[in-house]
Amino acid sequence: MHNQYMKRCLELAVLGAGKTSPNPMVGAVIVHNGEIIGEGYTSPYGGPHAEVNAVRSVIDQVGEAKARELFSESTIYVSLEPCAHFGKTPPCADMIVDMGFKEAVIACLDPFAKVNGLGLKKLQDAGIRTEVGVMEDDAKWVNRRFFTKLKEFRPYVILKWAETADGYFAPVLGQRWISNQASKQLVHKWRSEEDAILVGKRTAELDNPSLTVREWQGRNPKRILIDKNLELPESLSIFDEAAETIIFNAKKTDWQGNRKYIELENFDLYLPQQILYQLYLMDVQSIIVEGGRKTLDLFIQAGLWDEARVFVGAESWAEGIQAPKLIGDLKEEIQVGSDQLKIYLPN
């Protein structure tokens, strides 16, 4: 029975995708006598957390006095341990105690130092019956970006590219589209869900991408560009005002409106590590590495990736630039129109 309600928590949690960072995505469900009476998920960053929204949904329906009466006989399900500290909002654990819940069921503990068992302890000290570990692996997968940032001190890295049926990544000269329109729209959805997107100098120069979410409704990610000697013309789309652009280079550190230039000393030494650590310091929780081949290989060879999303098109070219090669486990295959999407995890 617990799984049924926790599954609903996880469905709610992902509704916050692309809006809660650097906070985790959390869902909460309130159950009274086997019936869901309240639901909530984390508001955009700085707003109320999932537990508060779930409690408010009940209070808005029946008023606070009746709600407290119901809560005394209710279980609150939460996909991540309620927070125990004052941040942008007051501690959710205190609110659950104040509302007098009978029981709390938690999918997994929060590894953040200011929580990490302290929220659970507050509930237990108040006499609330608790259970931890319901659908724990699923909950950790939903918040894999948050967990990676806290444990690895870097953003969660998603590699993304398209290749032909016979393994080519790009033509030797010029441009040629591999994946279909449905895949393109899906990529724009992904962009809206992640904090940042990265390309190298050659991709910015040849493809002139804007790296925005034109084909989907949502916020644009931060655009990350590698341009060692600052050789790219400012007329490129990546320098427009549609989104913040961070340029990692070996020349200067400067801030010009929407553009941040960050100089890396010893530019060619541990470049992906340097970039990811700088982004971590800027509270970037996740990044899509889109290309080109040299840039993708930098992260693959450094072992700095958490997920690879590879579109395999229907066409064969017989020649061109070979697609990147990685060692990983195939997690999932999804048909996207005429394309096949393969999702890999490191093994």
Give the catalytic positions in this structure.
51
Start-to-end Cα distance in the chain: 33
Closest CA to 307 of 335, 338, 341, 337: 341
Q: Which CA distances in Å does 257 have to 114, 243, 316?
A: 34, 11, 44
Whole-angstrom Cα distance, residue 231 to residue 245? 15
Whole-angstrom Cα distance, residue 87 to residue 196? 24
Q: Which helix (H) or strand (E) holds 119?
A: helix 118-125
- Helix, strand, coil percentages (3-state) for the chain, rounded to 5, are 30, 25, 40
Whole-angstrom Cα distance, residue 304 to residue 309? 15
Q: Hey, what are 168's tokens?
A: 């080519």
Rg for the chain (alpha carbons), in Å?
23
Residue 201, classed as helix, strand or coil, is helix
